[in-house]
Amino acid sequence: MYFLLGLLLFTTTGCSIQSKAEHQPLDLEGPVAVQVNSFAGDVTVRSIDPRTGARPHVAVTRGSSHGIRRYDKAREAMDSISWSARIDRGDRGPILVVDVISTAPSATGVQADVVIEVPIVDGLSVHTTKGDIEVDEVSGPVELVTTDGSVELLSDQALRGPLKILTSEGDVNVRLQAGTSGQLDFMAKDGRVGLYVRAGQMRIKPGTSNDSCRGQLGDSTEPFIIRTTHGVIRFTVKHNPKPHGIFHMD
């Protein structure tokens, strides 16, 4: 019976393989901007407290899914993935740049999941496809772009923009500290927008509806742009913003 069940799972799911996580330690202290450019896959970026014993690093897990009895093709596609991490210098300080590419003829079924942990994320840019983006603790400008994935941004820091989040076929959950300020421009095509502003001055502008919102939060003129399709945008500003209930509803 167990053999038949295993055979059924294999024949219905095809061949899927995954590498062990590949780690690169980082010699970083203090704030660092982070820039991620990935052809496809999930991206997680966290600020960490070195006092906990955590150490800055980048971890990448390569994976590939192909049809039934196509292990060789799946392995070949996974081996086409390569990545690099380097530290550049910018006007504001160090910039961690992570690039993930694939030379496979088609990116279908091929992806690499990236996890980055650094002391303080001060400025963030993530571009990927077919993957979720998760961010825990950030300050400075933020740009998060993906497709077919959800985005979660949690921070005990007040953001004053600019903020840009673009995705499709996924939800966007943003939870920020009181003092966050910017010009809000949200749209969830074939979805809906939920605002939960518990701290700060909020002024809703004309044109706001169930699936879009334009408004002014605080006094900053920096843009806060969020877009998705077939998903829900939930935007929360409050003291102690990270704890949340089911579906990020407060």
Please give the pLDDT value at position 123.
96
Residues 57, 95 within the same domain: yes
pTM score over 0.85: yes
**Domain count within the chain:** 2
The string of pLDDT tens digits covering residues 48-101 is 987 888 999 999 999 987 655 566 777 888 899 999 999 999 888 999 999 999
Q: Is 120 domain-assigned?
A: yes
SS3 of the chain? CHHHHHHHHHHHHCEEEECCCEEEECCCCCEEEEEEEECCCCEEEEECCHHHCCCCEEEEEEEEEECCCCHHHHHHHHHCEEEEEEEEEECCEEEEEEEEEECCCCCCCEEEEEEEEECEEEEEEEECCCCCEEEECCEEEEEEECCCCCEEEECCCCCCCCEEEECCCCCEEEEEECCCCEEEEEEEECCEEEEEECCCCEEECCCCECCEEEEEECCCCCEEEEEEECCEEEEEEECCCCCCCHHHCC
Residues 37, 113 within the same domain: yes
Residues 117, 27 within the same domain: yes
Residues 35, 117 within the same domain: yes
Q: Is 208 domain-assigned?
A: yes
Q: Is 116 domain-assigned?
A: yes
Residues 109, 159 within the same domain: no
Q: Is 51 domain-assigned?
A: yes
Q: Is 175 domain-assigned?
A: yes
Q: Across all residues in the chain, what is the average pLDDT? A: 89
Q: Is 198 domain-assigned?
A: yes
Domain housing 221: 150-244
Residues 38, 123 within the same domain: yes
Most confident of 59-73, 152-166, 235-249: 152-166
Question: What whole-number percentage of the chain has pLDDT above 70?
Answer: 90
The string of pLDDT tens digits covering residues 160-212 is 989 999 999 999 999 999 999 999 999 999 999 999 999 989 999 998 999 99
